[in-house]
Structure 1
Amino acid sequence: MQFDFPIFSPVEQINPELFEQKGLKLFIKRDDLIHPLISGNKWRKLKYTLLKAQSLGKNHLVTFGGAYSNHLLATAAAASKFGLKAIGFVRGEAVDNDTLFLCRLHGMRLIFTDREQYRHKELLFEQHFGNDNDAFFVNEGGASIEGAQGCAELVQELPMVYDHLFCACGTGTTAAGILNGLSQHHLSTRLHAVPVLKNGEFIGEEIQKFSNGNQNFNLHADYHFGGYAKTTPELISFVKEFTTATGILIEPVYTGKMLYAIFDLASQDYFAAGTNILAIHTGGIFGLLGMKEKFR
């Protein structure tokens, strides 16, 4: 298995009027540009997972996600690129949509699973693939120590030291990895994690689980807009206005909520004047495919 493209993304500064008024500088790490389909934190979380599978002689990835899962699509694309088989357990009733079409197009076989069974992922894996010596369990969203290890490498790409670093959170793996990276490079940058699901306070424990209890972060759990993949007209308007003003495409599931949090905190004078803020664009643009009606 050869990884024949670099994992690197540029940082660019944007200049919203609000931040100029407050004396703040806002930068975006464009992880959405890493790869068209294996974009953002998905490739970072898959890198060492795939290397572990390789070291164990496994060539059959078995993973999990919802019907519009960016992780399923990224895993399907990565498996296709590197000559692996891929199976995706899809939460809920059988459906057909653009994301799953792309998963199938890349050769992923999909198994639709009711929500109760889906909660027991390790059991599902054992029931279906326990006797398959080639099968390798890949947790939903790439959540794992290996996933955090890949995300930690983001820090070494940064061109300068920032006062604050923000990322959206679904499992906490990306935030934990970045936190580890900041520690490894002895940076005082404060990490801010924005859970995108309701009652996301537990994300703090997940971050510490993959970062050896490091607590150099803040959790902003009030920007979920009703729950995972939930939106409001206010959030949709923000996504539209941000994309129009910057030319940077974002979606309302992850990066949109994280950036909304930054803008809202800035409006409340959360940051001192002269502060440098870095937002991580974690990709996931295909999440827009399930929300087209909301943007009409």
Structure 2
Amino acid sequence: MFEEIYSAVQKITFAPFNNLSVKRDDLIDPYISGNKWRKLKYILAKAEEEKKTHLVTFGGAYSNHLVATAAAASRSGLTATAFVRGEEVQNEMLLLCSLFGMQLIFTDRESYRDKQKLFQQHFADDEKSYFIDEGGASPEATIGCAEIIRELTETYDHIFCAAGTGTTAAGLLKGIQQHQLNTKLHIIPVLKGGSFIEDEIVQHTPLSDHLNLHLDYHFGGYAKITPELISFIKNFTSKTGLLLDPVYTAKMFYAIFDLQKQGIIGKDEKILAIHTGGLMGLFGMRDKF
């Protein structure tokens, strides 16, 4: 199911942004979109190589990763189970997971912390089950994300990407290093204290001067938003027609806007923003708009 695919690069004309293009990975697939497609591509290849037929993964109630894994499993003739963090709820995301055939196991937050233990408790005797970490974090995922750089037909002074775990960031940095580019990679952690992402990246590829972490655009932490960010999203989308999710991509675009306003990014420098999809996360924020 993971055939070769190249997402379009779209030039954005929207003041005050200058020389801004967007790699539209959000258009890859409606359910396995963006970096979720990139991450799962080689994870599923490894599962198939090991003759696994049951995918087991983890996420919150509004996890795009859970929807992507459920869709990928059903299209590949596999079964899937997800440990869902927190109390039992019903929402649009989990409905999609169920429709794709995924079994949902709601798990208290303390037990959820030890994912390997949960896997062992439920599936230790099942040789066909394959462990996929939260968000798809894995060496295989970084290989898929590195392919973003290979697909580019132009060079850029700066590439921007939002980050939660650092897996996509590691793949992008690896791709820049492999292709010996001079491009600066700007990572926007969406959690407070996002400096830990460097530790995650170094597990997959060496750090270099290409990497820049910007730690001040989390807007309060993971899945936290402010009236300022909401206003930015509404204005950006109404003027460009490009949807942003409040958890990741909106914070990335705001960071680009702010860094250009400060003069840290020059107005004539070419910028590429990676749209990592995840737009169904908007459902979890509908009361904020």
Q: What range is the shorter-chain TM-score in? A: over 0.9
Match of 2:188 among 165, 185, 194: 194
Structure 2 residue runs of 5 or longer lacking an equivalent are none
Q: Which residue of 2 aligns with 1:16?
A: 14
Q: CA deviation at 1:283?
A: 0.1
Cα-to-partner distance string for 1:44-76 (whole Å, 9 max, x where unaligned):
000110000011010100000000000000000
Cα-to-partner distance string for 1:267-294 (whole Å, 9 max, x where unaligned):
1111124200000000000000011111
Match of 1:204 among 198, 202, 207: 198
Distance in structure 1 (CA, Å) of the matches to 2:122 and 2:209: 39
Q: Which residue of 1 aligns with 2:42?
A: 48
Q: Is the Cα contact below 8 Å between 1:208 and 1:214 reproduced in 2?
A: no
Cα-to-partner distance string for 1:71-118 (whole Å, 9 max, x where unaligned):
000000000111110000000011100100000010000000011111
Q: CA deviation at 1:180?
A: 0.5
Cα-to-partner distance string for 1:252-275 (whole Å, 9 max, x where unaligned):
100001111100111111112420
Question: What SS class does the counterpart of residue 123 from structure 1 fall into?
Answer: helix
Scaled by the length of structure 1, what TM-score is found? 0.96
Q: Which residue of 1 aligns with 2:160?
A: 166
Distance in structure 2 (CA, Å) of the matches to 1:287 and 1:276: 29
Match of 1:237 among 225, 231, 241: 231
Q: CA deviation at 1:18?
A: 1.3
Distance in structure 2 (CA, Å) of the matches to 1:231 and 1:197: 11
Match of 2:105 among 108, 111, 117: 111
Q: Which residue of 2 aligns with 1:256?
A: 250
Identity across the alignment (%): 61
- Greater shift, 229-238 or 4-13, is seen at 4-13
Distance in structure 1 (CA, Å) of the matches to 2:2 and 2:68: 16
Q: CA deviation at 1:211?
A: 1.4
Q: Which residue of 2 aligns with 1:288?
A: 282
Distance in structure 1 (CA, Å) of the matches to 2:123 and 2:48: 18
After TM superposition, the runs of 4+ consecutive aligned structure 1 residues lying more than 3 A away are 212-215
Q: Which residue of 2 aligns with 1:7?
A: 5
Q: Which residue of 2 aligns with 1:156?
A: 150
Instruction: Give the AA of the match of 1:117.
Output: S
Instruction: Give the AA of the match of 2:277.
Output: G
Instruction: Give the AA of the match of 1:276.
Output: K
Q: Which residue of 2 aligns with 1:276?
A: 270
Q: CA deviation at 1:151?
A: 0.3
Q: Is the Cα contact below 8 Å between 1:66 and 1:91 reproduced in 2?
A: yes
Q: Is the Cα contact below 8 Å between 2:187 and 2:214 reproduced in 1?
A: yes
Match of 2:218 among 202, 207, 224: 224
Distance in structure 1 (CA, Å) of the matches to 2:207 and 2:263: 29
Q: CA deviation at 1:216?
A: 2.2
Question: What SS class does the counterpart of residue 18 from structure 1 fall into?
Answer: coil
The alignment covers a number of residue pairs equal to: 289
Q: Is the Cα contact below 8 Å between 2:2 and 2:41 reproduced in 1?
A: no
In structure 2, the CA distance between the partners of 1:292 and 1:273, relative to structure 1 (3 Å rule), is closer
Instruction: Give the AA of the match of 1:99.
Output: M
Q: Is the Cα contact below 8 Å between 1:208 and 1:215 reproduced in 2?
A: no
Distance in structure 2 (CA, Å) of the matches to 1:15 and 1:270: 20
Distance in structure 1 (CA, Å) of the matches to 2:195 and 2:241: 32
Distance in structure 2 (CA, Å) of the matches to 1:271 and 1:262: 8
Match of 1:136 among 126, 130, 135: 130
